């Protein structure tokens, strides 16, 4: 059995999280940077499944693909899977302006990981990190949205934590479920 699997990502934080979890299970994660087409869809699971299937078929190997989004309750789930682009355009300050006067500041990061073998249908694993939007930008680390995202149970934004601490705040259950699946289906890797 080959205990290596390709993770299609350019995101060092995602790679760090999955690699750390996989190492304890004897699975080596190999980062593969390829540009996958992303469909425009409001369901993050559909976006992850499409990209995983495309990458598995292109490489002829089993792959893992992760997509994530940010859902803000008061904005009816905006920006969703477009968080990366909205973050570029609006920055933390723009999101704070959109939420001025809003009392419902609930939001969540949604992580979807799709595992796919060549010419098969993807299997999807999902987890959510619940939190709320701060009233001001604060912190020194991470992405723009980390400056305004406070994880439930904490009182500081995620941007107050360096990478190795910040990744521990995120719900990584989807990665654990994926690796448990692979453990029980060893012929897949």
Output the average pLDDT for the chain.
91
Residue 15 has pLDDT above 70, yes or no: yes
pLDDT at 27 over 90: no
Check if 67 is active-site. yes
Give dist(CA 135, CA 148) in Å, integer: 8
Segment 67-80 shows an average pLDDT of 94
Give the CA distances from residue 122 to residues 6, 44, 50, 57, 178, in Å, rounded to whole numbers and listed in that order: 14, 13, 8, 11, 12
Strand 79-80 to 28-32 pairing:
unpaired
CB 189 within 8 A of CB 3: yes
What confidence tens digit (pLDDT) does each residue in 88-106 have?
Answer: 999 999 999 999 999 999 9
Give the C-alpha separation, 23 to 104, whole Å: 40
**Residue-level pLDDT at 188:** 58
Domains contained in the chain, CATH given: 4-188 (3.90.950.10)
Instruction: Kindly tell me if the per-residue pLDDT of 185 is higher than 90.
Output: no
pTM of the model: 0.86
What is the mean predicted confidence (pLDDT) over 113-131?
Answer: 96
Burial of residue 24 (number of CB atoms within 10 Å: 0-12, 13-18, 19+) = exposed
What radius of gyration do the chain's Cα atoms show? Answer: 17
Closest-CA residue to 130 (of 151, 157, 148, 159): 151
By mean pLDDT, which of 51-60, 148-157, 162-171 is the weakest? Answer: 162-171
Whether residue 52 has pLDDT greater than 80: yes
Catalytic residue among 67, 111, 155, 163: 67
pLDDT of residue 184 exceeding 70: yes
Q: Is the pLDDT of residue 128 over 90?
A: yes
More confident residue, 115 or 185: 115
Distance CA(41)–CA(126), nearest Å, equals 17
pLDDT score recorded for residue 1: 44
* pLDDT computed for residue 20 by the predictor: 86
Q: Omega of the bond prior to 79 within 30 degrees of 0, cis? A: yes
Map tokens 């996989």 to a residue: 22
Counted residue by residue, the chain has a size of 189
């Amino acid at each position: 059995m080959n205990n290596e699997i390709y993770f299609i990502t350019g995101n060092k934080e995602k790679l760090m999280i999955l690699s750390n979890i996989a190492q304890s299970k004897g699975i080596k994660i190999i980062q593969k940077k390829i540009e996958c087409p992303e469909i425009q869809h409001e369901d993050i699971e559909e976006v992850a499944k499409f990209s995983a299937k495309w990458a598995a078929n292109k490489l002829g190997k089993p792959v893992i693909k992760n997509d994530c989004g940010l859902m803000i309750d008061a904005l009816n789930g905006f920006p969703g899977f477009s968080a990366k682009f909205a973050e570029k355009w609006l920055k933390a300050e723009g999101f704070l302006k959109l939420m001025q006067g809003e009392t419902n500041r609930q939001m969540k990061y949604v992580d979807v990981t799709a595992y796919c073998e060549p010419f098969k249908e993807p299997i999807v694993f999902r987890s959510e990190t619940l939190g709320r939007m701060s009233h001001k930008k604060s912190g020194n680390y991470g992405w723009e949205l980390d400056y305004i995202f406070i994880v439930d149970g904490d009182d500081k934004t995620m941007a107050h934590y360096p990478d190795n601490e910040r990744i521990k705040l995120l719900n990584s259950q989807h990665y654990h479920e994926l690796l448990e699946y692979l453990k029980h289906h060893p012929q897949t890797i």
